[in-house]
Amino acid sequence: MSKTVARTLSDLMPDIPITLSSEVCPEIREYERLSTAVANAYVRPTMEGYLSRLEIGLQAIGLTSPVLLMTSSGGLTTLESAKQQPIRLVESGPAGGAILRP
């Protein structure tokens, strides 16, 4: 049901980003879902702008390969996915350091 509501809201207000707690933090506990969704919604406009400028800048210097970003879990994500769920990048530095540490 929430996905249907999100699609309808996106159709009615395409310039307003929609964050679904069930997609950002698919856990049963409501507090974790709510706080993660709120944090994602808060940082999303800033990160969308930054990642869009980064993408344009990299294309301007001739980069043609896909850009992947490290997530908090140590995995990788695309620029488009990171624009939708930037909260997943929050702890990427410490995660990367722990993974790459000899």
Q: Vertex 97, ends 86 and 42: CA angle to 5°?
A: 20
Q: Is the pTM above the cut of 0.85?
A: no
Residue 15: give the domain boundaries. 2-100
Q: Cα Rg for the chain, rounded, in angstroms?
A: 15
Cα distances from 20 to residues 4, 40, 63, in angstroms, run 11, 9, 32
Q: Are 33 and 13 in contact (CB under 8 A)?
A: no
> Taking the alpha carbons of 61, 63, 66, 69 in that order, is the dihedral positive or negative?
negative
**Mean pLDDT, residues 31-57 taken together:** 94
pLDDT at 1 over 80: no
**Mean pLDDT, residues 38-65 taken together:** 95
pLDDT (tens digit per residue) in 25-39: 888 888 889 999 999
Tally the domains of the chain.
1
Residue 44, SS3? Answer: helix
**Predicted pLDDT at 67:** 93
**Predicted pLDDT at 57:** 96
pLDDT at 47 over 70: yes
Dihedral (Cα; 22, 10, 89, 43), 10-degree rounding: -110
